[in-house]
Amino acid sequence: MSRRTLYFDCFCGASGDMIVGALIDAGADFAAITCGLEALDVPGFTVAAEKVNKRGIAATRFTVTVAEDAPRPHRSLSQIVDLIRRSGLPDKVKAGSAETFERIAACEAQVHGIDVQDVHFHELGAIDSIADIVGAHLALDSLDVAQIAASPLRVGHGTVHTAHGVLPVPAPATALLLRDVPCRGGDIEGELVTPTGAALVAQLAGRFGPLPLFKIDAVGYGSGARDLADRPNVLRVFLGRESAALPGAESITIVEANIDDMNPELLPPLLEDMLRAGARDAFLTPIVGKKGRPAHQITVLCDEAIASEVAGLLFRNSTTLGVRMRAEHRICLDREWQVAETAWGAVRVKIARFDGHETTAAPEFEDCRGLAEQAGVSVRAVYEAALAAAVKGELRDA
In this structure, are 152 and 77 located in the same domain? yes
127 & 198 share domain:
yes
Q: What is the pLDDT of residue 172?
A: 92
At which of 242, 258, 289 does a domain end? 242
Q: What is the pLDDT of residues 4-56, one digit of tens each?
A: 899 999 999 999 999 999 999 999 999 999 999 998 988 889 999 999 999 99
Mean pLDDT of the chain: 90
Q: Does 164 share its domain with 263? A: no
Instruction: Provide the residue type at 304 as one letter.
Output: E
Q: Are residues 206 and 286 in the same domain?
A: no
Full residue range of the structural domain in which residue 159 is found = 4-242
Shared domain for 97 and 160, answered yes or no, is yes
Q: Do 191 and 326 sit in the same domain of this protein?
A: no
- 379 plus 323 within the same structural domain: no
What CATH number does residue 324 fall under?
3.30.70.1380
Q: What's the rounded Cα separation, in Å, for the pair 198 and 190? A: 15
Residue where a domain terminates, one of 274, 298, 331: 331
The total number of structural domains that make up the chain: 3
The answer on 109 and 158 residing in a single domain is yes
pTM for the full predicted model: 0.65
Torsion of CA 275, 276, 280, 284, to 10 degrees: -10
Average of per-residue pLDDT across 98-114: 93
Q: Are residues 316 and 259 in the same domain?
A: yes
Report the C-alpha gap between 356 and 334 in whole angstroms: 8
Q: How far, in Å, CA of 13 to CA of 186, rounded? A: 10
Listed in sequence order, the residues at least 6 apart from 186 whose beta carbon sits closer than 8 Å to its beta carbon are 154, 155, 156, 157, 192
Check residue 1 and give its pLDDT: 38
Q: Are residues 71 and 164 in the same domain?
A: yes
- 75, 81, 86, 91 alpha-carbon torsion, rounded to 10°: 150
Per the CB < 8 A criterion, the answer to whether 270 and 220 are in contact is no
Give CA–CA dist 193/175, Å, rounded. 10
Helices H / strands E in the chain, number of each: 11, 21
**Final residue of a structural domain among 302, 331, 360:** 331
Residue range 283-315, pLDDT digits in tens: 999 999 888 999 999 999 999 889 999 999 999
Percent residues over pLDDT 70 in the chain: 96
Model confidence over 313-339: pLDDT tens digits?
999 999 999 999 988 878 888 889 999
Q: Identify the pLDDT of residue 154.
A: 94
Please report, for the domain that includes residue 386, its CATH number. 3.10.20.300
User: pLDDT digits over 131-183, tens only?
Assistant: 999 999 999 999 988 889 999 999 999 988 877 788 899 999 999 999 989 99
Same domain, 79 and 99: yes
Identify whether residues 318 and 355 lie together within a single domain.
Answer: no
